Structures are given as C-alpha cells and as structure tokens.
Amino acid sequence: MELPMKSRSFSLTSHQLKALTHLACTLLGFERTVMELVTDLTFIDCTGETPSVKGILKRNRADLDMTPDCKKSTAETLIHTPEVLEFDWRSAFKGLVPHMAHCVKVVLDEVCFRSLKQEEELYSSGHTSIPLSRTRGHTAIPAGNTHLREDSFYTYSERETPMMTAKFCGAIMTEIDALLPLAAACRDSSLLEVRSSFVEACSRAVFALLGRLQERALEVPSSAPLRNLPALLATCIYVQQRLEHYHARLKDSNSTAAKVPLTLLPIQKYKETAEAFREQLTSYCIQICSTCIFQDAESHHWADPQPFYEGERCSFSVQMWFYFLCGLRSDLWAILPAEMAKEVLGQVLSETLQLLVQRYARARPSYKRHLQIRCDITAVLLYVEQLMWSVCKSPEALWRSNPSSAIAIIAGGSDWPYQIHSLCEQLLTVLVIVTAPLSLLYRMLMNNPGKESKPQHDSPVVLWLNAINPDLFTEQTIRDGLVGQAASLCQLRLLTSDPGHNPRLLLRMLLYRDCHLPTILLENSYICQENSLEMSTDSCKAGDDFIVTLFKLFSCLNNVPKALTQSLQPYLERSRMWEHLYTLADTTRAVPVVISCVRAIVTKSIHSILIHLVSMVIGWQATEEPSGALFKQNVPESILAKIPKAWNYPPLEARGKETATKTVISVTIQALSLIFTNLPLAVASIPLPIRYLFQVAEKHLSQHARQLRLMGLLLWVLLGCLIQGLEDPDTLEEISGLALTRGAKEPLSLLAECLQATMGIQQKGVPKPTVHKVLQTLEEKRPKWTNMQLQKARKLCSDSVSERGKESGVAELTEQKIGLMLLEVCHKAGGSDYLRQIYHIIQGNEELLMSNLSGSTNSPSNPPHVVNFDHGSESRMDPDCFNPLHQFDHVGKKTLDQSAVVDWAWDWPKVLPAYRGMSQITFKTLLANR
C-alpha cells in the first residue's frame, strides 16, 4: 500500500538526504552494471525511453511445462510468452520529491553561507593568506566517493587539475559533489523538481563563491600577499572544471529532463574570471620586476669610472630577479595545474628577460664597468638555463629553437621556450660585441669583409646553451641533437624539474636506450649488489613492489616486446630466473615475485581450456553413467560359480569395465583434440613481452634442450600448467563453478597423464596401458596432427615476437607512438598508478641517477649509494618547499660562486666565428656602446 506522503508535512535532515544520495549512487552503479551485462544477452530487450532497466524474464523449463494443477500442458511447451522484467527503482523516490528538493536547497545554501562566513571571519582577524586544501585529483579518495574517480563524464587529466584550492571553496564543492548523484538519478518527469533545485542552489553557491574570489583578488597586493593570486586562479579553474562536469553529468537528451535550465551554471563566467586572474598574476609579477627588482641605481651607473662592487660580483638586481622567479616557481608548482604553471612561469621569465635585454643592449659602460655587463649577462644566462628545465615540455624544446614557432607567435600564439631562446641569443650577442677583446673582434671583421647573412635568431641552432654549459650541450649535441647519456640526463632533469608527474616524458625515458634507466635502478639496488647489507622487511617488500610495478607496466606494451626483458635484465641474471621459468608449473616451490606474475598470466591463458574440459567431462559423465549404472552391481562369486559354462555367461563387471574403458578413451581423445586445437589461441592470448621473455629464457636453458626441442619453453610451461590444473580438483571447481565427482576426476587425471606422456615426462610407477592406448588411437585417427599443432603454436610464439621486435627496433619512439603506448598503459587497470609509483622512485633517487648517468664515480670517502625503493605516500604529496636562505646563493643544487661568474672563461675563438654573418646594423649599434 502506498503511503499518502503528500498529505504529511515534514523536513528531511541533512543526514537523511546524504543517506538518500548514497542510495541513489548505489542504484545508479547497479543500473549501470546491469545495463552492461544485458547488452551481452540476446534475449534482453532494452529499447524504450523509460528510465529503468527492462528485460525479458525467461521462465524455467519446468515451470513452462506445468499447468496450474501440476499437469503438463502441450500448448505451453510449444508457445512461450516472455515475461517483462522491470527495475523502475526511481519510482521509490516520487513520494519524497518536494522534501528532497527543499532539503537540497537548504543544505547547499547553509554550507555556502557557513563557509563564506568562516572565511570572512578568518580574513578579518588578520589572516590575509588564503588557507589551502588539496584537490580530489591529487589526494586519496574516500571509499564512499569512488564514483567520482570512476565517472566517465570527467574529462580533465591530472596535469590539467589544480594541485590545491582555497579551503572554503573545497568545503562548498565537496558538498555539491556529494549531492550530484541524487540530481543525476532524478531524470524522470516526476523527479525533475529535485534536479532543478540542485541546479539553482549550485548556481547560487558558485556565484557567491565567484564574488568572494573576485573580492579577494582585488586586495592583492595592497592588503594581501602575492601567493593569494595563484590560489585564487587555481580555485577558479577548479570550480570551472567541476561545473563542466556537472553540466556533462546532468545533460540529457530526454526532452523532459532537458527542461532543467543548465545555463544557470556560470561556466563561461568562471572561464573569463580565470583568464582575468591569470593576466593579473603575470602582469603583477612583471611589474614587480620592472618597478622594484630592476631598479638598482648603483648597478645602473654605467658611466661610473669605478668597477661595480670591486668587480667581485654580478648586479644585485639580477640575483634578486632569479631569487624572485624561484619563489614564484615554488608557489606555482604547489598550487596551479602543471601545464598552466609552466605556461605562467615561461611567460613571466620571457617578458622580464626582455626587459633585461633592453637594458644591456642600451648600456654604454665605462672601461671599468664593461666587465659588469659581462658578469651580469653570464649570470643571467646561468639563471635562465636553470629555469629552462622547468619551462620546457620536451628535450627538443630545450636544445633546439623551432623557427615555425615564430609564425605561430605572429598569428597570436605563444611559444615561451622559443622566445626565451631568442632573447638569450640576443644577450649573448650583446656580451660578445660589447665585452669581447677588440683585437679578436677586429680579426673577425677582417675575415668577414662586408658579407651579411641571415640574422642569427632565424637559425634553429641554440648557441647560448653551448656557451654556458658546454659539457652537456656540446657542439655535436647542438648540431645533431641529444643522444646517449646526454639525452638520458636531459630527460631525467626535465622530469624531476616538472611541477607534476609527466607520464608521456616518463614513459619515453623508461624506454630510451633499451630501458637504460630501469636497468640503472636495479643494478644499483640491494637486489644486484654483491656485498649488500641485510635489508629490512619493509625495504625488501618495497623492492619487490617495484619489480612488480615494472613487470605490470612493460608486460602490456605489445609495441615494444623487448622492453620487459631489457628492463629486468639485471634482476633476471642475478636471481637466475631462467630455471624458475622452466619449473613455472610447480606451485609447491617458493619463487620470486616476478615468477608469480608470469605464472598468473600463463594460468589465465589456459582457464578457458580448463573450463571447457570440465564441462566436457561432466557432460560425458551425465550421458554415460545412467547406461552404465546396471553394470555397477557386484555379482557375488558364489552365484557366478553355479552358472553353467555352457551358457557362456560373461561377467557383468568385465562387460562394464570394457565399455567404460572405451568411453573414457573416447572422451580423453576428444579432450586432447580440444587442447591441441586451442593451444595456438592460448599462446596468442599471452602478451608479446611475456612471449619474448620465454624466448630469451630458452636460450639460457641449454641443459634442458632435449625436453624443449619439440615444443619450446613457452609451450612446455603452458602444458605443464594445464597438467597442474587438471591434477588440482579444487582449482578446477573454483574456475569452472562446477562440482566434480569421483567419476569426473578420473578421466581428468588420465588426461593429465596423457599430456605428460606427450611432453616426454617420465611418469611415476608403471605407465598405464590406457595412456598408451589413447595416444595410439589419436595418432591413428589424425596422423602427426599433434606435432603439427605444437609446431604451429611454437611458430606463433617466435614469429609474432620477431616481427614486432623488428618494427620497434627500426622505428624511433616518436611522440605519436609514445602517445599510443601511453594510451595503452592508461587503459589498463592500474596503469597510471604504475607510472606514478616509478616516477616517485626516480624522484627520490635523482641524485644517484644523475651521478650514474654523468659517469662520475664515488670517491672512497663516500660509499656508493643504494637505490631506495621505499617512498611513502606522504613524501610524494609534499613538493619541495622554497627555502629562502638556501636559494639566495644557489643555482639549483649548486652554490653560486660570484667570483667564478666574474672570471668566467669565455672561449672567444670558439664563440666569435658564429657572429661573422650578423647584421652590420646590429654590430655597429652595439659596437658604439663600448
């Protein structure tokens, strides 16, 4: 009986609303699961517009054949009328619609009012710095909110999501997120009041939030710190992304649901505000540099006949400029989305660098002050080289200036690395013409009589990097590109300088030079150390976890089948894994973690064969046992002795045994035929990296060459796992879901013995004649067919791996191929997490990797480091904090030696030839400043 809910007057509490939301979320997930399942069933009819799960409920055969008075009905056995199954769960919410709609408004309005009031009170008390909280994309998600992580409507990647937002915003958006499933569930015409109420309340909340964000932005810098601007920008971006998510989730093609005005969600308004906040942030940073930091009267006094600071250091303004940019980078890295953080830093660096170029290009120093220009420009180039690692997105952008970027910039685009390269080349030109020895300049002019070539900045070659860091950016590197150790160093430094986890660059670096980086990590870990100290249990577990992570990552990369074996090569060699692979089917022995991973993949590939075998044997048993039941009666010997011999009476037991043996042989032959028919399919289901691993392992198992000559290692292991599965009734029952009787276990055991005989494995005890009979009968029916199937499967093992290996070996890892492989990894369950775990291990062992890649050896006083695989989640979430006292006199991790900058050894004979073809106008203008 339906209760008269409308006649009752009551209000839902916040707790009750959350319970209803949780129920709606659960039912939505259940509905989605049911819809996915029914799409695989041909008898389900899911057409129609009704927002519920519908289908055809088929009656049981026994029910169809019985009439109400328990008698068979021939008509019903011939005519089958399907029964419609409806799951219209949304109707259960109809009676609560007005109460839910009212409660949604009250809850959201109350949360918004309370959060904004708390923020106002905190700000009024003198706490002008905005408190921050991590966004959901960069922290652990509670179990109750897993639908948000799995929601297919959310299209923003982790690198596009802000790291942190304003705390008061997080409280509001968390409450809106919590009520979203309820609004999504209410898409029936009778439930639209709840959805409309959610949209209206959400719009009011985000508009109030937007007003508060704009209000706080106006107070920077007069009464609030600069760090508030990145926080406000990140908050604005985050709310915009959530609103777009709500719009996608609530958008419905149903004409009834489409009546809800989603235009109330101020998505465009937030986009415009985010652009305004970004412009305010960049323009304010540039203004700080131009009006405050660069205003250093003492260092600007170019006509002063005395050297600046006794010629012992660069200008304070240049040092403070880099100091400011490092602090800005720290704030951007901790708050903004990774991609936007790089863009903002690149823009501020480029536009402030342009101011420095203008300053030094116009300076006319005295004789004593021209060394200050050289020192300042040298320091600027050192600083920019350090910051470029944080700005560039790829190694190519770092060492090569792309001329096509100029066209994009003219068209209104932005390519900050290109512009920075161009400005640094201009600074280097100023340094050369204004401060190089005149005698060398004169020789350059005499060797270049009036010929003028294209301007230097049109050339894609980046000279300033070679001049400032010749060890890494050699002439050959600048000319031909980064290769070998230099490329690995470059990729590693780009990865660790990035504001977040860059999966594309990480995957590229892991695959580069035949997986050189993972090999270094393993070779320098306790796993491969000769005299390694006793490791703790936690450290060993962390090392095993890293091995498993590498295995799961590379085992899904079918485009590069050699990567798995190459990355684990030190581990495989050190732990003598090849013998473990040979005995993979033996589950009684303790094995390393990687062998367990391989075994899981191999056994999964034969599950379908085992299920078919169990079904076949049980089906045979069901048909054979009734006819053979008569022969199971044991006739006493006393009765048999009294039967006259003239009757020629054969014993029933003998006759039953003879018939049973024939049927067992028949079903065993069928089962063997099934196995060898499906063996190539089982091989094809194993990923190519695993097949290549077995191919390499086979070359290390020469002592087993006789056993592996016919079928190879992979087929040996596959058949071994099949035998192991057939001999384990518990496993068979688990994977098939069918109970095995003693009568079914016996033919399965016989089948295992036949497979052992096929593999040439010596059986325990006296060989059964039945086994010989089965194999002989199969050979007579299908001569040489078993060997042909084995050869076919073995050919599939080797040919597919070698063909794909040649393709991946010849072709380079282009950006497109890396993107496709990254897509393949991320589509696999846990793929993104594998990359993230490896990234944090690389990040934690950066110093060791840098030392190893650069070729430096450990001194006797410093013992060699061992890779630390244990990096907890807490350390992962905290970025490197900006240390003002440390950063003041450091460039990266190195101390800035001012005297070394002053006495920088410029190789003029090497630098000057590049300027022979420079513009005569530029040359004369700069020369006039000497």
3-state secondary structure of 332: helix
Question: What residues does each domain of the chain span?
Answer: 10-92, 93-277, 294-499+885-927, 503-574+814-877, 597-632+649-807
Torsion sign, CA atoms 291, 297, 302, 308: negative
pLDDT surpassing 70 at residue 650: no
The two most distant CA atoms of the chain are separated, in Å, by 141
Question: For the residues 275-282, what does the mean pLDDT come to?
Answer: 97
Query: Of 473, 485, 455, 468, whose CA–CA distance to 400 is shortest?
Result: 473
Question: For the residues 273-288, what does the mean pLDDT come to?
Answer: 97
The pLDDT score that the predictor gives to residue 635 is 58
Give dist(CA 747, CA 768) in Å, integer.
Answer: 13
The pLDDT score that the predictor gives to residue 254 is 61
Give dist(CA 702, CA 230) in Å, integer.
Answer: 63
Q: Decide: 99 and 12 in contact? Cβ < 8 Å.
A: yes
Least confident of 12-16, 17-21, 820-824: 12-16
Angle at 313 between CA 308 and CA 314, to 5 degrees: 80
> Binning pLDDT at 50, 70 and 90, where does residue 207 land?
very high
> Binning pLDDT at 50, 70 and 90, where does residue 803 land?
low
The pLDDT score that the predictor gives to residue 576 is 82
> Binning pLDDT at 50, 70 and 90, where does residue 140 land?
very low
Least confident of 42-46, 220-224, 620-624: 42-46
Question: For the residues 213-229, what does the mean pLDDT come to?
Answer: 94
- How many CA atoms does the CB half-sphere of 530 hold within 13 Å? 1
Contacts 24+ apart (CB under 8 A), 736-739: 736/610, 736/611, 736/614, 736/615, 738/614, 738/615, 738/618
Question: For the residues 176-194, what does the mean pLDDT come to?
Answer: 87
Question: For the residues 755-760, what does the mean pLDDT come to?
Answer: 86
The pLDDT score that the predictor gives to residue 66 is 43
The pLDDT score that the predictor gives to residue 230 is 97
The pLDDT score that the predictor gives to residue 138 is 59
Q: Decide: 701 and 716 in contact? Cβ < 8 Å.
A: no
Q: Which amino acid is at 121?
A: E
Least confident of 257-266, 290-299, 814-823, 839-848: 257-266
Please state, rounded to an integer, the average pLDDT across all residues of the chain: 81
Query: Of 728, 701, 713, 726, whose CA–CA distance to 759 is shortest?
Result: 713
What's the pLDDT tens digit per position in 701-733?
A: 888 888 888 888 999 999 999 999 998 888 888
Among residues of the chain, what percentage have pLDDT more than 70? 80
pLDDT surpassing 50 at residue 501: yes
More confident residue, 252 or 555: 555
Least confident of 38-42, 225-229, 238-242, 509-513: 38-42
Name every residue whose Cβ is closer than 8 Å to that of residue 236 and which is 6 or more positions away in sequence: 210, 213, 270, 273, 274, 277
pLDDT surpassing 70 at residue 623: yes
| DSSP structural state of residue 703 | G
The pLDDT score that the predictor gives to residue 190 is 81
Contacts 24+ apart (CB under 8 A), 187-192: 187/51, 187/90, 187/252, 187/254, 187/256, 187/257, 188/51, 188/90, 188/91, 188/256, 189/256, 190/94, 190/97, 191/90, 191/93, 191/94, 191/97, 192/256, 192/257, 192/259, 192/260
How, if at all, do strands 890-891 and 894-895 pair? Answer: antiparallel
Pseudo-torsion of CA 140, 146, 150, 154, nearest 10°? -70
Q: Decide: 468 and 773 in contact? Cβ < 8 Å.
A: no
Q: Mean pLDDT highest for which of 42-56, 182-196, 443-457, 670-684?
A: 670-684
Which token pair is 267? 């998505």
For the chain, counts of helices (H) and of strands (E): 44, 6
Question: For the residues 224-253, what does the mean pLDDT come to?
Answer: 92
Q: Which amino acid is at 62?
A: A
pLDDT surpassing 80 at residue 17: yes
The DSSP line for 607-665 is: HHHHHHHHHHHHHHHHHHHHHHSGGGPPPPHHHHHHS-GGG----HHHHHHHHHHHHHH
More confident residue, 2 or 899: 899
CA distances from 107 to 149, 166, 179, 198, 620 (A): 24, 20, 10, 10, 64
Query: Of 469, 384, 471, 380, whose CA–CA distance to 431 is shortest?
Result: 380
Give dist(CA 495, CA 875) in Å, integer.
Answer: 17
At which residue do the structure tokens 């950066």 appear? Answer: 846
Q: What are phi and psi of 66, to 5 degrees?
A: -115, 135
- How many CA atoms does the CB half-sphere of 752 hold within 13 Å? 20
pLDDT surpassing 60 at residue 71: no
What's the pLDDT tens digit per position in 857-902?
A: 544 445 457 888 986 544 444 445 788 888 888 888 888 888 889 9
> Binning pLDDT at 50, 70 and 90, where does residue 566 land?
very high
pLDDT surpassing 90 at residue 130: yes
Q: Decide: 267 and 240 in contact? Cβ < 8 Å.
A: yes
Q: Decide: 570 and 528 in contact? Cβ < 8 Å.
A: yes
Query: Of 215, 193, 206, whose CA–CA distance to 246 is shortest?
Result: 206
Kindly tell me the burial class for residue 742, based on how many C-beta atoms sit within 10 Å of its own C-beta (0-12, 13-18, 19 or more). exposed
pLDDT surpassing 70 at residue 255: no
What's the pLDDT tens digit per position in 92-121?
A: 778 788 888 899 999 999 999 999 999 999
Helix (H) or strand (E) holding 890: strand 890-891
Helix (H) or strand (E) holding 26: helix 14-38
pLDDT surpassing 80 at residue 461: no
The pLDDT score that the predictor gives to residue 9 is 47
Which token pair is 407? 């066209």
> Binning pLDDT at 50, 70 and 90, where does residue 296 land?
confident
CA distances from 928 to 364, 389, 473, 514, 914 (A): 8, 35, 32, 54, 20
298 alpha carbon, distance to own chain's centre: 52
Other beta carbons less than 10 A from residue 848's beta carbon? 20
Q: Decide: 469 and 399 in contact? Cβ < 8 Å.
A: no
pLDDT surpassing 50 at residue 313: yes
pLDDT surpassing 60 at residue 76: no
More confident residue, 631 or 828: 828
Give dist(CA 377, CA 430) in Å, integer.
Answer: 9
Q: Decide: 335 and 273 in contact? Cβ < 8 Å.
A: no
What's the pLDDT tens digit per position in 397-419?
A: 888 766 665 555 554 557 899 99
> Binning pLDDT at 50, 70 and 90, where does residue 139 land?
low
Least confident of 238-247, 543-552, 594-603, 827-836: 827-836
Q: Mean pLDDT highest for which of 147-161, 681-695, 785-799, 810-824?
A: 681-695
**Helix 370-391 to helix 316-335 angle, to the nearest 10 degrees?**
10
